[in-house]
Structure 1
Amino acid sequence: MKIKDIRASLHTTSIEIPLLEGRVSGYGREEQKLFVVCEVETDEGITGIGLTGHFLAHSVVAALEKHFLPVVRDMDPRDLEAIHQRVFAKLNPRAMTGTVSMALSCLDIALWDIQGKHAGRSVAQLLGAARDHAPAYVTFGFPQYDREQLAEAARLHVRNGFSALKSVVAVDKGGWREDAARVRVIREAVGDDVDIMIDANYLFNPVEAKMLCRAIEDCNITWFEEPLQQNDARALADLRRSTRIPLAAGQMEGHRWRLRELVEKQAVDILQPNVTYCGGYTEARKAAHLAQTYNMPIANGGGWPLFNMHMMAGLMNGWIVEWHLGMVSVGESIFVDPPRPENGVIRIPDAPGLGLTVDRDGLKETRVEG
């Protein structure tokens, strides 16, 4: 079997957020408008699909079609180590991240989809088949909510079967004090038996993060995700020593060496390799195995649950999938009847590969030219 073509395209969508009127531009934050889809075609007629997010999306499309395809054309899509080795040698000998990592992620996901379809096994099974399911948490706490809406949205998702919720912090004009108040609103709304996570998306400096941690330590937070600017491993380790709240990070890191730094510096309690950004399943699996040697769980941050659920189910230390409402909306737009959590648990489809059926009309309707 040989790789014959890579077709990459830009797409966009808007989402509906519960309790807010109308649709919200982008699928999470205002800048999250674009995403990239690639399809890899083989000479045996098996096609795989991959996806990555909005960062420099036009460049990712060009990288896949103009640079990656000439490097991997006619290689066997199952020879994943050989493909990654050639990509590093030809396109990334200095181990950079950014566009090259996202393009590699998109390609690698599609290759695992092909491999699973050829073998008649799901990607989760190929990764190790630790489980056929994974728990899910819902990322619901968008900054567009006022406090009253935030509380009602939290109760809504608990009624819908979720027992773990995540909210965004570090974006309110009121600063960490308003964040602390919003966290307390969520805790009061859902009681003590629901997990609450918070995510700063790299936006706090160390002092602000420490102040917020101090203010909410009695709220029993399950984890504080990517609290610090630049994902600074040294500063994260310092913050981790100063708080009882577990720290999680790694979702936007572009390869195993950046993820290794978080582990070796004891900067996090939970590692978050995301297959759509770090180099795909091939690279994420290496980070997950590293975490295993430190008795550390991996969890899905950075969204794209339909892809990351295979990591969480397939690997021994896989934990929980992020049911990010914006990225879920993307999946609903481009796939036919994709899996959904029931009572807070998502099950891996019985179908081989990713287990996803492409909605050709959805791809066409969401496509952005140029």
Structure 2
Amino acid sequence: MTIAALTTYRSEEHPNMLWLEVETGDGVTGLGETFYAAEAVEAYVHANLAPIVMGLSAIDIEAVHHRTRPYIGFVAASVELRARSALDIALWDALGKFTGQPVSVLLGGRIREQIPVYNTCAGTQYVRGPKVGKTENFGIQSKGKAGEYEDLHGFLNDPVSLAGSLLDMGIDSMKIWPFDFAAEATQGQFISQTELTRAVAPFEAIRKAYGDRMQLSAELHGMWNLPESRVICQALDEIGMRWIEDPVLLTNPYGIAQLKGSVRSRLAMGETRGGAEDFKIFLDTGALSLLILDIGWCGGLTEARRCAALAGAYLTPVAAHDCNGPVVLSASVHFCQATTNAYVQEIVRAFYYGWYADIVTALPPVEDGTITTPEGPGLGMELLPDFKNREGTISRVSRA
């Protein structure tokens, strides 16, 4: 079963998303996905990746993973690693279909069926544009279509009602990022007491209303220098955080270690970093309470397994990032089912109940605050034929 074709799909409606279909000489297909700068990743897939992998065995995923290690761009979530990730996910999906087994079984078997979720409180239009990480790309809307969730507007304007609606769904953990506006105003160099008070207010309001029923996490997006991050984290310490994520830019592991020396809260990082070697320098500090990886950025499921095993050697749990698309979410749930030290899964309910079902045939079921894998072999989903044929969908194919 050799790799015979790679087909990419982009969407004008979701310009940061890229989907990749692998087709084998036996007619088996597999589906992968990645996020951000989709046109650049598409170009790399067809100009650089396809000539390497055409004709290789689609079953020998580890060999393909080794052959596709880039000469440059081999650290952090580069274009090269994002393309490699999408391909790797697609190969695992194809192997599952070929063997008639779910990916989680191929990864070693399931340790757990259900994984608790936490909700990242984005809205339906979050990060649709090219300026990922900027507040102008938050896509804030006060009201979406019926059945949609505008949770970013919610945490900025009515955090208590937002938390209550999550609890009503059985979701008892949420993550918000009200500090980003203050960070942009000073390039992360200073936060005034006024801005600090304003940013911690949503956390305080939720804690006052619901006590410990809702677990709170703070996302700082790596936007602050070390002294200001310490001020913010110590203020959050007083409220009680499940974790504080990316408190400083992920370029200085010793800065993370220094910060942890003066902060009680658990520190989590770093979906944007890349693979196992990239994470090791941060794990070496002993400062991490949670390693967050993105299966669509780190090198796919093959690399995610290495990352989890490495973190396990440091007695550190891992979690899979999901603020991109439905295929990576499904791959992440399969990964968590088969990984001892993966105990929680991120979801964005605004995406899950908003646009995910417009792209794929099935979603990982969410019920009572937990998630599991779709039924069926592989990842348990396909791209909808309607999506492939839409006017705003751009496809490109490379064949052997």
Q: Do the structures match in fold with TM over 0.5?
A: yes
Give the C-alpha shift of residue 197 in structure 1.
1.2
For 2:369, the equivalent position in structure 1 comes to 344
After superposition, the C-alpha distances for 1:13-44 in whole angstroms (9 at most, x for unaligned) are: 4xxxxxxxxxxxx7xxxxxx521111000011
Distance 2:21 2:213 in 1: 42
Amino acid at match of 1:253: R
**Larger RCO (CA under 8 A, 6+ residues apart):** 2
After superposition, the C-alpha distances for 1:182-238 in whole angstroms (9 at most, x for unaligned) are: 211222233212211111121122222211111121322111111112353211111
Matched, 1:102 2:82: yes
After superposition, the C-alpha distances for 1:267-314 in whole angstroms (9 at most, x for unaligned) are: 311111211100000111101001111111111234342221112111
Work out which of the residue numbers 23, 27, 41 in structure 1 matches 2:23: 41
Matched, 1:71 2:91: no
Give the C-alpha shift of residue 319 in structure 1.
1.1
Matched, 1:58 2:58: no
Kept in 2: contact 1:170–1:204 (CA 8 A):
no
Q: CA RMSD in A?
A: 2.1
For 1:287, the equivalent position in structure 2 comes to 307
Once superposed, which parts of structure 1, at least 4 consecutive aligned residues long, lie more than 6 Å away? none
Work out which of the residue numbers 342, 351, 359 in structure 2 matches 1:318: 342
Kept in 2: contact 1:177–1:212 (CA 8 A):
no
Distance 2:342 2:350 in 1: 23
Kept in 2: contact 1:234–1:267 (CA 8 A):
no
Q: Secondary structure at the match of 2:318?
A: coil
For 2:139, the equivalent position in structure 1 comes to none
Relative distance call for 1:146 and 1:110 in structure 2 (3 A) is closer
After superposition, the C-alpha distances for 1:320-370 in whole angstroms (9 at most, x for unaligned) are: 111123543442221124123100111122311111132121344452589
Matched, 1:297 2:277: no
Give the C-alpha shift of residue 64 in structure 1.
0.9
For 1:362, the equivalent position in structure 2 comes to 387
For 2:167, the equivalent position in structure 1 comes to 158
For 2:225, the equivalent position in structure 1 comes to 205
After superposition, the C-alpha distances for 1:56-87 in whole angstroms (9 at most, x for unaligned) are: 22110011112111100111112122112211
Distance 2:269 2:284 in 1: 13
For 1:183, the equivalent position in structure 2 comes to 203
Matched, 1:238 2:262: no
Give the C-alpha shift of residue 5 in structure 1.
0.7
Distance 1:274 1:211 in 2: 28
Give the C-alpha shift of residue 143 in structure 1.
4.6
Q: Secondary structure at the match of 1:51?
A: strand
Q: Secondary structure at the match of 1:319?
A: strand
Distance 2:181 2:332 in 1: 29
**Worse overlay, 349-358 or 145-154:** 145-154
After superposition, the C-alpha distances for 1:87-130 in whole angstroms (9 at most, x for unaligned) are: 12xx4267344100000001000001011111222111222222
Kept in 1: contact 2:75–2:278 (CA 8 A):
no
**Worse overlay, 335-344 or 106-115:** 335-344
- Please give the residue correspondences for 1:23-34 in structure 2 after superposition, counting only pairs within 5 Å: 33-34=15-16
**Identity percentage of aligned residues:** 27
Matched, 1:144 2:153: yes
Give the C-alpha shift of residue 9 in structure 1.
2.2
TM-score of the superposed pair, with normalisation by structure 1: 0.88
Distance 2:269 2:38 in 1: 23
Distance 2:204 2:288 in 1: 24
Matched, 1:83 2:64: yes
For 1:22, the equivalent position in structure 2 comes to none
**Worse overlay, 78-87 or 38-47:** 78-87
Amino acid at match of 1:209: S
For 2:9, the equivalent position in structure 1 comes to 9
Kept in 1: contact 2:269–2:291 (CA 8 A):
yes
Give the C-alpha shift of residue 163 in structure 1.
1.1
**Worse overlay, 241-250 or 357-366:** 357-366
For 1:273, the equivalent position in structure 2 comes to 293
Amino acid at match of 1:367: T
Give unpaired runs (5+ residues) of structure 2: 123-150, 183-193
Give the C-alpha shift of residue 47 in structure 1.
0.4
Distance 1:250 1:302 in 2: 13
Kept in 2: contact 1:196–1:222 (CA 8 A):
yes
Kept in 1: contact 2:7–2:21 (CA 8 A):
yes
Q: How many residues align?
A: 349
Amino acid at match of 1:164: S
Give the C-alpha shift of residue 171 in structure 1.
1.4
Distance 1:169 1:230 in 2: 20
Q: Secondary structure at the match of 1:136?
A: strand
Q: Secondary structure at the match of 2:121?
A: strand
Distance 1:171 1:300 in 2: 22
Distance 1:176 1:146 in 2: 16
Relative distance call for 1:246 and 1:99 in structure 2 (3 A) is same
Relative distance call for 1:351 and 1:243 in structure 2 (3 A) is same
For 1:215, the equivalent position in structure 2 comes to 235
TM-score of the superposed pair, with normalisation by structure 2: 0.82
Q: Secondary structure at the match of 1:219?
A: coil
